[in-house]
Amino acid sequence: GKRIHVYVDETRPLLQGARLTAWELQQAGIPATLICDNMAALVMRQGKIGMVVTGADRIAANGDSANKIGTYGVAVLAKAHGIPFYIAAPFSTFDFRLATGAEIPIEERAAAEITEGFGRRTAPTGISVYNPAFDVTPAELIAGIITERGVLRGPFGDSLRAYRKAIRAAT
């Protein structure tokens, strides 16, 4: 019943936010505005953002969360602007074998994703490229983790252990 408006980062270099998130929000009838990734700080400073919610590809036992590249930067910006930063993720995202996010393997993607965006060369031939697919947001930047069983709060070690126990008891 809340009236929300979502600002969607385009999510470079593969534009998942523009191609997927924006489409999903439209399908759900949720008002949304697409922005370039590097506009996040400006819209935060302008007071247009009340909270940040992102997904996660993997969450360590201490709450450190890996997600698409750029998520860590958005979390730092949110902290600087006093905006709560949340992760939304199902139980299957948690990897309790990993103590911290430092143990999460980070895939490096093909250089062409940056130098030849969607098949068109946009960078000089031979330029060196660094293209990690994910980054890790430290738990201390996360206000809460939204799960199918409610919102987990820090310290995440305790709340994640209780969450894991509740999920196991239910299955």
Which residues carry out catalysis?
57
Query: What's the order of all strands across the beta sheet hosting 150-152?
Result: 52-54, 85-88, 144-147, 150-152
Residue 42, Cβ neighbours under 10 Å: how many?
Answer: 12
CA distances from 50 to 53, 134, 158 (A): 10, 25, 27
DSSP-based three-state secondary structure for 160: helix
Task: Return the number of other C-beta atoms located less than 10 Å from residue 153's C-beta.
Answer: 13
CA 32/CA 53 separation, integer angstroms: 14
**HSE-up of residue 89 (Cα within 13 Å, Cβ side):** 25
